Structure 1
Amino acid sequence: MDRSLTMRRRALRVPGLRSIRRPIGPRSAGAEAPATGPGPRAGAPGAPSEQNPHTGPEFDLHYVRTGSSTYRRGSDPVAPASGTAALPLVIIPGGPGLASALPYDQVRRRAAARGLEVVMVEHRGVGLSRRDLDGHDLPQEAMSVELAVADLAAVLDAEGIDRAVIIGSSYGTYVAQAFAVDHPDRVGGLVLDSPMLAESDEKVAREFSRDLLYCGTAGWPETRLLAAKVYDLVDTGVVDELTLGRDVRIIYEFAGPRTLDRFLNQVKAGRAKRTLAFLDKAASGDTGEGLPYYMEFDIVGEIAFRELSFFAAGDGRIFDQTHEFEAIRSKYSDYAGQPYDFPAALPTFDFPVLVLSGERDLRTPRPVAEEIVRLAPRGHLVPLPDSGHSALDTHLLPVLVAAEAIATGRVAELAWNPERFAGLPRVTGPSGILPRLIDANLMLDRILSR
């Protein structure tokens, strides 16, 4: 059986799945029809696509709504601060390209066990929201942050939700902040996990990574030793420095400094062939063919290039992340400028803004998070030690605890209880297996390269 069809069938069985009819592109003023209410589960008898099979510039936007009644309540490693939350949560994953229905089923189960109600929208151009009513892929010109925000608002309208806690991870933080700009009255608070801010983010990340793991001018003794080894590999020409920078970033963020040290030693000794091949494949997952109904970059990549400057001008040296997109640049439009000015908007946000920042995050590093906290009047930094990029995928409980604090009106407690996030059990998401796979490949290289 075709893998894509199998994955689709699995996605259509996700608890709480619903859909509404949405225009593919913006309609003229006054022409937009109101969003339909929450219909039957897609694919079931009476679903919208079967009620109205006409052709036209529309598609079925799929989303999931879950809560304590959707899943059977179970034990959770950290007891929630209260019972049912006053505000539902809207969780926006990263990418662009990450689906919601399949990859984050366990995330929603964890939230439900804490009495948290969750809405997750399958981003237009991805997974169950990928095709129009005729079964054709949505066009690239229908991809934009503004339309993705309009989709979120339409889902909240369909569900009768006036206000919610908006949670974004990585690219999802851009959409979350954009929603707050366009619909500030519907935001009870923001949780920004590994946040994006402005066009300058890539340069900040590049300089931060070099200071920490190449020049050794920042960090602590452990990272300075790693920086010396990275510098030596580049200086002696053992490996391509751009590829090395990408691999160092992946291992440091997901597996930590000790695993990175082993990797660097084995690269130096010529005993990392399998690991290098694995990392090359893992890195291509974000922008390559992807996995249907999990990660599909090919259509929504237009947002990354046209609106988010994913191919900003780099310098071609180590930790320049723009080179990772060079092979596919011709498939997308040129950068046209960011659609939102968040540094100007953040000072106007009158709701809590909790910013989660991993200590080992090299893609959206701590200086970006600190700037958001500085700009937002009610900004609060939640530093996550021994964590990398995207807590939603690697360290879920801090995300839920932060969201719960806003949803239940208990944000003030964080000021006198800064250790609320320390020592939380590590509950991983879709990326949790990556560190184990890196370790396994390094072990094979050590054993089989002798």
Structure 2
Amino acid sequence: MKLPAMRSVDLFDRAAQDDLLQIRNDLMTVYREISAEDRRLFPLRYARAVPRRPRRARSGSGRAAADGATAGEPSVAQPQVPVLLIPDGPERASVLPYDVLRRSLAGRGLDVLMMEHRGVGLSRLDALGQDLPVQGMTLREVIGDLLAVLDHARAPRVVVYGAGYGAYLAQALAVFHPERVHSLVLDSPLTSADDELIAQQTMRAMYWDGTVPSTSTTAAVLRRLVAEGVVDGHRAGPAVLAVHEHGGRAAVRDLVDLLALGRGQLTWNSVRQVLDQGWLQSTPYVMEHDLTARIGYTELGKGRHADGGPLDPLSVAGERARSAPPFTSEVLDLHELAPAITAPTLVISGSQDLVAPPSIARAVAERIPGARLLEVNGAGHSMLDSRSQITQVAARWSACGVAHLLPEHAAALAALPATPTDQALSRGLQIALAAERYSPWRLRVESVKAKREQAQVDPRARRTRHLKVD
């Protein structure tokens, strides 16, 4: 018998979106009004991963923590409530980038929901296949989207795990609809338009003012490089931030030292060029900035505190904010509203996070009654994206009602590995620095080590642009 021909579907082609929906049984559609003023309907998508039998955990090890248990975990039944995961954003997609994570959580017995933010990916088009109008991009409508997904999924109560902007939405949901929230996990939380000011001040204290002892020497060298014209201090902030997020203080120190020796320009310029590329803000089904800019810049105030000063991490955001209507005031005052949250809350922060510094998470934990703080030593921004095994543990423990015990296991959690993507970025940065520091022979050794590490990455985590459809 002759088999039917196979055809290739380009996922970056919007016309192929319906094909993708047909071949995946985990994607659901809710028809929502664009806004209170625009009553036309558009298809809002969300993914659901139903629970499977969890793997047996080996207690007393880091692997046990990854499987949902650490040494001393209380004996608990299987989770009884679904988990709603809300990624950072508002420009970040939910469905395709976190496919592997949802399947892993389902393998640990969790029922996982993930909404595609309106204006992004599979929730970008209206019923006629046209882009949603910018006027429909508001926080009020997004919160309504979350409720519509819960209603459609018949999930009366859920654990809400939010990262960054997702944590902002999670807090709003817990304040205005407490009956729908079983518990909260706030990962690297966003709380107000002034959070960026805290991040800006923290980064400058570390790498410009030199008031942090562990980086004071790096800051002094960086100031000298700017004074000598080797580095453009007014545009250096995003590059230093990127190197810090993926390589930590050591990588920033090594890069600055190389620049002081007359090397390192290739790595420095490469980081700068990547950050300047438009595709970072316009990769279909991954990161789509254009329609959601109104939420990010007009309602959340992204880039508002960009000042054009030296080592400003907000310089790129400040430039992009000019293309959106200006920010006027907070839509929600979460600082004022947070004490009304009654759901059990776990706040997670990475000790090396310069996007949402730990001081923000500590303040959130103090504002929410009974909240517990988990600070992960050595981690950066967003466990959901950089330390997904910690996300899995936190989501499961929260669904079982024991997330308040997690801070007691902070050391075991900090020992869990970074995500394969984050490991690849970190390793790539190390190789780039090695290329300018070592001999060609040493560079070859570093490259071989990197290839071996990549070979150990779960092949399911590798993405492809093309799927075969019968």
Does the 8 Å contact 1:14/1:102 carry over to 2? no
Q: 1:80 aligns with which of 68, 72, 80?
A: 68
In structure 2, do the counterparts of structure 1 residues 263 and 420 end up closer, same or farther at CA, with 3 Å as the change threshold?
Answer: closer
Q: Structure 1: state its 5+ residue gaps.
A: 29-55
In structure 2, which of residues 417, 429, 437 is the aligned counterpart of residue 426 of structure 1? 417
Partner of 1:42: none
2-side partners of 1:430 and 1:12: how far apart?
Answer: 28
**Count of residues paired in the alignment:** 418
Q: Is the CA contact 2:349–2:358 (under 8 Å) kept in the aligned structure 1? A: yes
Do 2:378 and 2:414's aligned partners in 1 also have CA atoms closer than 8 Å? no
Equivalent residue of 2:287, what SS?
coil
CA contact 1:393–1:432 (8 Å) conserved in 2: no
Correspondence for 2:110 among 116, 141, 162: 116
Instruction: Work out which of the residue numbers 218, 221, 239 in structure 2 matches 1:226.
Output: 218
Q: Larger deviation: 394-403 or 186-195?
A: 394-403
| Structure 1 contact 104–430 (Cα < 8 Å) conserved | no
Measured in 2, the distance between the counterparts of 1:351 and 1:275 equals: 46
Deviates more, 1:305-314 or 1:13-22: 13-22
In 1, distance between residues paired with 2:250 and 2:83?
36
Give the Cα separation in 2 of the matches to 1:14 and 1:83. Answer: 30
Q: Deviations over 1:346-401 (max 9, x none)?
A: 11111122111111111110111111011111211110111111111111122222
Counterparts in 2 of 1:198 and 1:444: CA distance versus 1, 3 Å: same
CA 323–427 in structure 1, closer or farther in 2 if over 3 Å, else same: closer
Structural mapping, 1:293-442, within 5 Å = 293-414=285-406, 417-419=408-410, 421-428=412-419, 431-442=422-433
Paired position in structure 1 for 2:101: 107
> Offset of 1:161 from its aligned partner?
0.5
Within 2, Cα distance between the matches of 1:402 and 1:225? 37
SS of residue matched to 1:119: strand
Q: TM-score, normalised by structure 2?
A: 0.82
Q: Distance in 1 between matches of 2:23 and 2:85?
A: 20
Distance 2:230 2:176 in 1: 50
Q: Tell me the distance in 1 between the aligned counterparts of 2:332 and 2:34.
A: 21
Q: SS of the counterpart of 1:255?
A: helix
Tell me the residue number matched to 2:51. 68
Counterpart for residue 464 of structure 2: none
Residue 3 of structure 1 and its aligned partner are, at CA, apart by 5.9
Which residue pairs with 2:455 in the alignment? none
- State how far apart, in whole Å, the 2-side matches of 1:12 and 1:126 are: 19
Aligned equivalent of 2:13, options 2, 5, 10: 5
Which residue identity is paired with 1:283?
L
- Range 10-19 or range 358-367, more displaced: 10-19
Q: Distance in 2 between matches of 1:331 and 1:215?
A: 31
What is the distance in 2 between the residues matched to 1:421 and 1:285?
38
Instruction: Supply the distance in 2 between the matched residues of 1:104 and 1:2 (Cα, whole angstroms).
Output: 19
Instruction: Tell me the secondary structure at the aligned position of residue 403 of structure 2.
Output: coil
Identity %: 32
* TM-score of the superposed pair, with normalisation by structure 1: 0.85
Q: Which residue of 2 aligns with 1:153?
A: 147
In structure 2, the partner of 1:19 is 29
Distance 1:285 1:435, change over 3 A: farther
Query: Which SS does the other structure have where 2:431 is aligned?
Result: helix
Q: Which residue of 1 aligns with 2:164?
A: 170
Distance 1:330 1:2 in 2: 33
String of CA shifts for 1:268-320, please: whole Å, max 9, x gaps: 33433432343224434688542110111111111111111113143322343
The separation in 2 between residues aligned to 1:436 and 1:382, in whole angstroms, is 27
Structure 2 unaligned residues grouped into runs of 5+: 1-8, 58-62, 70-75, 444-470
Structure 1 stretch displaced more, 357-366 or 439-448: 439-448
Amino acid at match of 1:435: S
RMSD: 2.7
Match of 2:41 among 41, 53, 58: 58
Residues 65 and 117 in structure 1, CA contact (< 8 A), matched pair in contact too: yes
Give the one of 125, 129, 134 matched to 1:135.
Answer: 129
What amino acid is aligned across from residue 200 of structure 2 in structure 1? R
1:387 aligned partner, one-letter code: A
SS at match of 1:208: helix
Task: Tell me how far apart the structure 2 counterparts of residues 87 and 424 of structure 1 sit (CA, whole Å).
Answer: 28
Residue 170 of structure 2: SS of its match in structure 1?
helix
**Which SS does the other structure have where 1:195 is aligned?**
coil
Instruction: Give the deviation of 1:441 after TM superposition.
Output: 2.8
Label 1:257 to 1:10 Cα distance change in 2 as closer, same or farther (>3 A): farther
Asked if 1 retains the 8 angstrom alpha-carbon contact of 2:221 and 2:256, the reply is yes
Q: How does 1:38-57 map to 2 (within 5 A)?
A: 57=40
8 A Cα contact 2:376 2:410, kept in partner = no
- Which residue pairs with 2:181 in the alignment? 187
Tell me, in whole angstroms, the C-alpha distance in 2 between the residues paired with 1:198 and 1:233.
34
Q: Secondary structure at the match of 1:167?
A: strand
TM superposition shift of 1:231: 2.5
Deviation at 1:91, TM superposition (A): 0.6
Shift in alpha-carbon separation, 1:412–1:361, aligned structure 2, 3 A: closer
Map 1:144-293; keep pairs closer than 5 Å.
Answer: 144-218=138-212, 220-221=213-214, 223-284=215-276, 288-293=280-285
Per-residue CA distance 1:26-78 (angstroms, 9 max, x = gap): 259xxxxxxxxxxxxxxxxxxxxxxxxxxx72211110011324xx7557733
The Cα of 1:228 is off from its aligned counterpart by 2.5
Q: Secondary structure of the residue that 1:363 maps to in structure 2?
A: coil
Alpha-carbon contact 2:167-2:189 (below 8 Å) kept:
yes
- In structure 2, the CA distance between the partners of 1:439 and 1:427, relative to structure 1 (3 Å rule), is closer
Amino acid at match of 2:359: P
Whichever residue aligns with residue 231 of structure 1, its letter is R
CA distance in 1, matches of 2:398, 2:382: 19
Structure-2 residue corresponding to 1:90: 84
Q: CA deviation at 1:14?
A: 4.7
Deviation by residue 1:157-208 (Cα, 9 ceiling, x = unmatched): 0111111111111121111112222212111121111111122211111111
Distance 2:54 2:274 in 1: 35
